[in-house]
Structure 1
């Protein structure tokens, strides 16, 4: 079942308004003219650093609008390490100015540039395609030719889109020695098409913001159209398009080049869930670091973009200081996996992602549950940005009354009450047997922390979709819920809920379809919850 035009327009309108509010706050005007004339280079002084607004020729001669921030007193007699920062999706070139000035004050040349197709940069939005990767190298070329940059000490970084481009560039440009990729992606398909389910609000955000602040390429428009309308005849093309834009595809090249890579993300990232970043991290061979914090997409580092104290940006600078300047600040000797609990706000260090859980608690999904589809049971993952930000700042995740969930629309299982606190850490896994009355269908699995009064607080969730199954024939489903760090208090229990509708996703349940969840004796169904004892 595909979303109606009204639903899509409402979703796109909502996220477009959010992006418009963001861009208005930056004070930078957008342009819809792809042929905007290059403006003369201008400069201003902050009293400590020099900031210049320049035009850089990217791949094919496309003009990229950029800022260059250099240390105070730079006169060409000394070389400085350089950090290149591509902008986030839909944000203007002043996005990183506060951090760029801090880095320049610390002795870096910083170049931030507007990614092609957005705002006043030329070209079309290529969505981290080959032209974007080539642009990154062109910016490095220009930086070495026009600033006091040290060619042996080049770093790249950024938030979201800038993170993805930086990781991709590190696979193709050996000059890049260090990367800080914040709120980015390792696998684009596993991000917005996880469980073979379209992430509706995420795709609407990307499409709406791109149309509002830039000029989407014909290829991107076609991909989004097929994605949002569930055109399965084009699924292979969509997956191939995404793989070309996934750093995980070029993992061998990234490892061979050996850049030191720091990854940062939020537990509730609505665009790029933490699982895919953790999987990518585990496969990196060079110096690496992984940080997860509460929040949604880019909210963990957002205050730093305003120049406010921010742990993510503090560690980003430490990462560059060590791997570009050679500063012995201990970042290379710390536990490389740093997690911040959603429940306590405390940091925890681990030697690898695999070492995060020390045990697993199984919840048996006994007995058979049968549900009607296309009915919103009341269990859901919330709304993009809003829900995870409420969890980040107020510790208020999406909630549902577990006893009141209609069993005709939601399959529910619960654990016994736990005598001690359960520190959920890592990736919860579900295994079950599903029988559908139609060849296609969608389910969304939720894990809730349930208090004495039956109120469930969302711990994690994930969608799954199937196509081409024989109706009324059972098949196995293995699903990873989105990774998290959450403490279940003593006296509470965990509930597993599966229903068929969630505003975050496009569902594929034909009218009148039913889903049955069973637990054969030869293949019992269960949920395995990772815990730290």
Structure 2
């Protein structure tokens, strides 16, 4: 593994830290209901002390639904300060928000959502049922990021969990840190740095980091299956909790594709919401109690499944998506219905043209075979996936996409293909795929596939992308690649066209591309090069 470019991981880590918010000891409403807050030490697995914020609603009679909320990575039980208070005094939930083991003032060491973290969550449920007036038949869990992963893993093991809200979480940890065998460098550095800033890494994390620093990701991959709910689907299906997933298209830590796959595989009651943003940005304001569409939907989800409220949730289409570049929500009966049809555009032989960028390799209706196009590897181009957290947040809050000037993409170091202009525009909706044959000069070679929405001046907005690293390839021998890009919903305006760019370096990932190497793109008759575009 080659040395990654420098990144201020400490600065990125600070973005994830919770801004302290004041929470009154009690809040009362006009009808006499309210909430009482206490800070407790809850015994976790093995007697480990977990620090918890316990919010008990007042003015409600009888046992109440219990919501257990594990904090996100590197954050404390204050993360859900606003959302927890609202759930308690507006809806009557008994809420326990706790700091995960190894972080801040909770005891133990960081176990990366291991068995001890799941055992902690179960112990918190035990404590809540024992020490509060909570109903053992109405238990839910919710969390952001790390809390989402722990909630799903606990629901697969503990059949008392009747409903789950998982926001910006993961189902497959290996796919997050090692997408298509490419190290997600910025994400890994952020997680490791923030754990050291705010917690005490356990033996497993220490070993993983030590090996990672030496270029060996295998220990991390060996830890991943036990910490991934995707490996526990039979148990989760058997328990059958009602699962709501909230995620952002641009999540740079846990890509959206793992949750679309998880949603399709899970057989229990389920809901999926996908919208613009990066990791945790879509629901961060709601955690503090501010208006938030994800939290509002989650509250209705819990109200129906834990309180029996006839609020229309059961009759609604469960898949809700909002275009990444702005627009209203659309609803579908399942994830597959998000794509109404697919169009296959065939890649033509690229031309080394900067002045007339539209004539660079075409995207045609019919197969274009028999061509090859070689580029230099190991040096980046103007095409980039952006910066973790920052780029997705800019897209969400300011409508500023990760951009590129297509004429400035060096054709000596990238393959570039452009299609015709859409006279009436088009909605990309689903998972685009790129099929191409590549011949590397080295056994390990990183490639980055970008799909752009390009205006008439050649200015492109990044629609989606995907890294792909060849491992153990035979130098000089062609390899057929079928690359699934990250799913997205994106409205291409009238007069714009699509552009596909493939190069060999990206600052977000650890590259296996050295200066002096080459990659040849091709389109043999046995595997015509193409771009498949799903549309609504």
TM-score by structure 1 length? 0.93
Q: Which SS does the other structure have where 2:67 is aligned?
A: strand
> Is 1:53–1:67's contact at 8 Å kept on the other side of the alignment?
yes
- TM-fit CA distance, 1:44: 3.0
Measured after TM superposition, the shift of residue 228 of structure 1 is 4.9
Alignment of 1:80 onto 2:76: no
Q: How does 1:333-482 map to 2 (within 5 A)?
A: 333-367=315-349, 368-482=372-486
SS in 2 for 1:355: helix
1:15 aligns with 2:12: yes
Residues 229 and 410 of structure 1: is their aligned pair in 2 closer, same or farther, counting only changes over 3 Å?
Answer: farther
Q: Report the Cα offset of residue 12 of structure 1.
A: 2.2
Q: Deviations over 1:285-331 (max 9, x none)?
A: 11000000100011111111221111000011000000001101111
CA distance in 1: counterparts of 2:439 and 2:527, whole angstroms: 14
CA drift of 1:13 comes to 2.7
For the 8 Å contact 1:373–1:511, the answer to whether it is kept is yes
Select the residue among 288, 302, 308 that pairs with 1:306: 288
Q: How does 1:164-179 map to 2 (within 5 A)?
A: 164-179=149-164
Partners in 2 of 1:18 and 1:139 — Cα distance? 28
What does residue 3 of structure 1 align with? Answer: 3
Matches within 5 A, 1:48-197: 48-73=34-59, 78-105=62-89, 106-197=91-182
Counterpart CA distance in 1 for 2:14 and 2:70 is: 23
Q: Name the counterpart of 2:20.
A: 26
- Deviation, 1:27, is 6.2
Deviations for 1:457-495, whole angstroms, at most 9, x for unmatched residues? 100001000111110000111111111111111211100
- Cα deviation digits, residues 81-102 of structure 1 (max 9, x gap): 1100000001111111111111
- Deviation string for 1:242-281 (max 9, x for gaps)? 1110010101100000100001100100111110100001
Q: Does structure 2 conserve the Cα–Cα contact (< 8 Å) formed by 1:183 and 1:298? A: yes
How far apart are 1:339 and its partner, in Å? 0.2
Q: How far is 1:422 from its partner?
A: 1.1
Q: Measure, in 2, the Cα distance between the counterparts of 1:216 and 1:93.
A: 18
> 1:40 matched to which residue of 2?
none
> Counterpart in 1 of 2:530?
526
1:60-107, CA deviations, whole angstroms, 9 ceiling, x for partnerless residues? 110000011011136xx6200110000000111111111111111111
Pairs aligned (count): 508
2: CA distance between counterparts of 1:70 and 1:97? Answer: 13
Structure 2 equivalent of residue 282 of structure 1: 264
- Segments of 5+ residues of structure 2 without an aligned counterpart are 29-33, 350-371
Verify the 8 A CA contact 1:372 1:515 in the aligned structure 2. yes
Question: Which stretches of structure 1, 4 residues or more, deviate above 6 A after TM superposition?
Answer: none
**How much has 1:511 moved relative to structure 2?**
3.3
1:44 pairs with 25, 42, 50, which one? 25
Q: Which deviations, in whole Å up to 9, do the C-alpha atoms of 1:207-261 show, x marking residues without a partner?
A: 1111100011121122133335432xx52x4322111100101011000001000
- What's the CA shift string for 1:433-471, capped at 9, x where partnerless? 110001110000000011000111100001000111110
**How far off its partner does 1:360 sit?**
1.4
TM-score by length of 2: 0.92
Worse overlay, 44-53 or 448-457 = 44-53
Note the C-alpha offset of 1:521: 1.3
Once the two structures are overlaid, the 10-residue window that deviates more, 298-307 or 271-280, is 298-307
Q: Deviations over 1:494-532 (max 9, x none)?
A: 000001111110001133111111000121011101111
**Counterparts of 2:453 and 2:446 in 1: how far apart (Å)?**
23
* Separation in structure 1 between the aligned mates of residue 101 and residue 333 of structure 2, nearest angstrom: 38
Asked if structure 2 preserves the Cα contact closer than 8 Å seen for 1:69 and 1:111, the reply is: yes
- CA distance in structure 2 between the partners assigned to 1:178 and 1:16 by the alignment: 31
Instruction: Give the whole-Å Cα distance in 2 for the aligned partners of 1:402 and 1:322.
Output: 49
For the Cα contact (< 8 Å) 1:126–1:216, is it kept in 2? yes
Partner of residue 231 from structure 2, selected from 228, 240, 249: 249
Aligned to 2:352: none
CA displacement 1:143-174 (0-9 Å, x = unmatched): 00000000000000111100000000001101
**Structural RMSD (CA):** 1.6
Tell me, in whole angstroms, the C-alpha distance in 1 between the residues paired with 2:118 and 2:519.
44
Does structure 1 retain, via aligned residues, the 8 Å contact 2:435–2:530? yes
Contact kept? 2:341, 2:535, Cα under 8 Å: yes
**Separation of aligned partners in 2, 1:100 and 1:394:** 28
Q: Distance in 2 between matches of 1:290 and 1:16?
A: 28
